[in-house]
Amino acid sequence: PKGDPTVHVFHRRGNRRDKNIRPLNLAGHVGFDSLPDQLVNKSICQGFCFNILCIGETGIGKSTLMDTLFNTNFENFESSHFEPQVKLRAQTYDLQESNVRLRLTVVNTVGFGDQMNKQESYQPVVDYIDRQFESYLQEELKIKRSLHNYHDSRVHACLYFISPSGHSLKSLDLVTMKKLDSKVNIIPVIAKADTISKSELHKFKIKIMSELVSNGVQIYQFPIDDETVAKVNTSMNGHLPFAVVGSTEEVMLGTKMVKARQYPWGIVQVENESHCDFMKLREMLICVNMEDLREQTHTRHYELYRRCKLEEMGFKDTDPECKPVSLQETYEAKRQEFLLELQRREDEMRQMFVQRVKEKEAELKEAERELQSRFEQLKRLHADEKATLEDKKKALEDDQVSFSKRRAAAQLLQGQSLTANGKKDKDRKK
Amino acid sequence: DLELEIPVLHEVPPPLGPLYGEKHSAPVVDFSYVGIDAILEQMRRKAMKQGFELNIMVVGQSGLGKSTLMNTLFKSKVSRKSVLATAQEKIPKTIEIKSISHDIEEKGVRMKLTVIDTPGFGDQINNENCWQPIMRFINDQYEVYLQEEINIDRKKRIPDSRVHCCIYFIPPTGHCLRPLDVEFMRRLSKVVNIVPVIAKADTLTLEERDFFKQKIREELRANGIDVYPQKEFDEDEEDRMINEKIREMIPFAVVGSDQEYQVNGRRLLGRKTKWGTIEVENIAHCEFAYLRDLLIRTHMQNIKDITSTIHYEMYRVRRLNENNTGGGNISPLQLNSSSTLELT
């Protein structure tokens, strides 16, 4: 039984409707309308991640714009114009507004556009973006993984700062944006827009957009499929690229302090929509489309990277007609390969080890033998000396014996001669 | 290396937002609001647009009121009662797994609800291994999801047919769990969120009910069976407090009904008997309302999260490690991207 026709009205937008699923009327309040709240509550507990990449020449105002956008003072380093190569500097901050915690990473290029030869300038940027994708891919492919805890460092939005020349895009701009448009959501902005007059600005914007189109550069389009935001997004799409002015300094205007740049000829107010498009940028980037930027990064740019990377590594999906060569099977085949290699290395190492042990053993045995023979030698010497000493001792003893014999004999003789002399005397006296 | 600084966490510099306004000696700046919290609304919009999916399985012997309970929970005929029409129809020889989906919508929130019925469970004379087909079905859903996930060219939104929650119906004997119950829950609680309920609880008095529940909780503990909400998945103190209260009350003693009766001037869902009308949504009569609140109004997202981040991930680890005798976390893909191998 088909459902009430009015029920279908709500299902119109569902593009994943199976034909076999019947819509059903509910006879009362069930309560799953709280699901979006449950989902949002979970996200509040977890916090959000957002990563912005700013590409632009040195001194064009990237850091100032970030400070102005987020109403805070990020740590800023003034860069020199003499960097030999383009580098990227990434800094992460924890911000909070009411109950929403945001982990914001701001990545700035350093030395972009300063080199004499700018042919390779785009490469470090592409490499950085790819590295973040790679890092996520590695986590996703791990066996034991924790994706829901993973700090997502993939670039969600790329603000490309165009110099306010008033004429057209530089070839560096075109080349760089072309290299990046399939990897990241590009939002071009015209920096330091207070140096261009209103009429020049209008012409400049048109020129930029037509150059982008004719060069096939796909910049990020604010989504127009959701009716709640379609209107504002469509209108904003027509204002691209946003002409921005950044300032963290405040100037007194009437009774209020406003963020502005003060010139002798007037005050450019950052948050005044008739002065520049700053408010539009903040609205689009943060208030309306932050989630869509994150989603596009994940479902489009990251998927493309993943597909290319895996194909490059030799995995492939199925042919429609034959059995699916799934990632799973290739995974397993590669694992076997890996384990065999591991085994081989292990055997090699074990052999080496055994060899070394043998050698060492031989060495030690040799040393032992030597030691043993030394010992024998010393023992012999010792025995010889001892024998010599014994002989000497014996000789000494013999001497002693003969000496004492001689002494005894001598004493005896002496005694005898004394008695003989005494007798002689006695005889004389008589 | 091309990066000057490894991304490092800095503690909050001047906080933003109207709650923490900046202090000036001069008149206050109006525009201190950035708009970061608008992301909540953006998320809500996206969720409403995409719609939600929920897959609930009901397991229990026939006649315990599984279909009626589902219909009561979702206030519509999401499940058809399996009444044996004639005496010729025999009790099924095997367990079937029947999956029926419906699109329902409430206040702009669209949901694809799939109720998976398991007729034949526990109905045979020999019920050994009756948990097997169900386990197989659950793992098959994980497998389907995994296959899509590891495709090179994969869908933007992988269709989720994984069983988020399995409601197990315990017959109201009033004594204790039967070996069938213990065996089933012990095995299945390792792969899916199990919510045990005491079916047809209107046959138990309040004292009998409390005694039965206590016995059941003891037996679950003694057998090491972790039913939803599992203790080990409590995220923080707040979570633990809320979940402890629930754990002290499970299994919920439920009564289902899709008939309305007039009670005290109001039309209520209930069961009418000669000795009174049991009001299904009255918590003094039965605990249906608690079950409904848990499953739908407060913990639905959590149930889905636990399925995807824990049960599914465990299946994935097991599956990807199947041919690996060494075990561990080696991803063969690291072999290609780095030129050195590390032996542990």
User: ipTM of this predicted complex?
Assistant: 0.78
A327: confidence class by pLDDT, cuts 50, 70, 90: low
What is the side-by-side order of every strand in the sheet holding B109-117?
A22-23, B98-106, B109-117, B52-59, B165-170, B194-198, B252-253
A430: confidence class by pLDDT, cuts 50, 70, 90: low
Is B73 within 8 Å of B296 (Cβ atoms)? Answer: yes
Classify burial at A218, counting beta carbons within 10 Å of its beta carbon; exposed 0-12, middle 13-18, buried 19 or more: middle
| CA atoms lying within 13 Å on the CB side of residue A79 | 25
Q: What is the per-residue pLDDT across A165-208, written as a single tens digit (0 to 9) for each?
A: 888 899 899 999 999 999 999 999 999 998 988 888 999 999 99
Q: What is the pLDDT of residue A176?
A: 93
Handedness of CA A314, A317, A320, A325 (dihedral sign): positive
Q: What is the 3-state secondary structure (H, E, C) of chain B?
A: CCECCCCCEECCCCCCCHHHCCCCCCCCCCCCCCCCCHHHHHHHHHHHHHCEEEEEEEECCCCCCHHHHHHHHHCCCCCCCCCCCCCCCCCCCCCCCEEEEEEEEECCEEEEEEEEECCCCCCCCCCCCCHHHHHHHHHHHHHHHHHHHCCCCCCCCCCCCCCCEEEEEECCCCCCCCHHHHHHHHHHCCCCCEEEEECCHHHCCHHHHHHHHHHHHHHHHHCCCCCCCCHHHCCCHHHHHHHHHHHCCCCEECCCCCCEEEECCEEEEEEEECCEEEECCCCCCCCHHHHHHHHHHHCHHHHHHHHHHHHHHHHHHHHHCCCCCCCCCCCCHHHHHCCCCCCC
Q: What is the per-residue pLDDT across A86-111, written as a single tens digit (0 to 9) for each?
A: 889 888 888 888 888 889 999 999 88
Q: What is the pLDDT of residue A330?
A: 61
A10–chain B nearest CA distance, Å: 7
Q: What is the pLDDT of residue A429?
A: 64
* Residues of B in Cβ contact (< 8 Å) with A292: 42, 46
> Tokens standing for A130?
């790819």
Interatomic CA distance for residues B228 and B215, integer angstroms: 17
Interatomic CA distance for residues A345 and A331, integer angstroms: 21
Is A270 within 8 Å of A68 (Cβ atoms)? Answer: yes
Q: What is the per-residue pLDDT across A15-70, written as a single tens digit (0 to 9) for each?
A: 344 556 778 888 788 888 889 999 998 888 888 899 999 999 988 989 999 989 98
- Contact B38/A326, CB-based, under 8 Å? no
Q: Which residue of A has its CA nearest to B113?
A: A21
- Contact A30/B296, CB-based, under 8 Å? yes
Q: What is the pLDDT of residue B217?
A: 93
Is B288 within 8 Å of B295 (Cβ atoms)? Answer: no
A88–chain B nearest CA distance, Å: 5
- State whether residue B320 sits within 8 Å of chain A by CB: yes
- How far CA A336 is from CA of A125, A192, A197, A209, A350, in Å, comes to 36, 58, 67, 53, 21
* Average pLDDT of the residues of chain A: 85
Is A249 within 8 Å of A260 (Cβ atoms)? Answer: yes
Crossing angle of helices A122-141 and A303-312, in 10° steps, is 80
Q: What is the pLDDT of residue B26?
A: 33
Which regions of chain B are under pLDDT 50? 1-31, 85, 325-344
* Residues of B in Cβ contact (< 8 Å) with A282: 34-35
Q: What is the pLDDT of residue B83?
A: 60
A138–chain B nearest CA distance, Å: 8
Helix (H, G, I), strand (E, B) or coil at A251: strand
Q: Pick A30's closest partner by Cβ from B5, B75, B334.
A: B75
- Contact A339/B326, CB-based, under 8 Å? yes
Interface of A with B in 107-126 (CB under 8 A): 110, 124
- State whether residue A39 sits within 8 Å of chain B by CB: yes
Q: What is the pLDDT of residue A250?
A: 86
Q: What is the per-residue pLDDT across B96-155, written as a single tens digit (0 to 9) for each?
A: 888 989 999 888 889 999 999 988 888 888 878 888 999 999 999 999 999 888 888 888
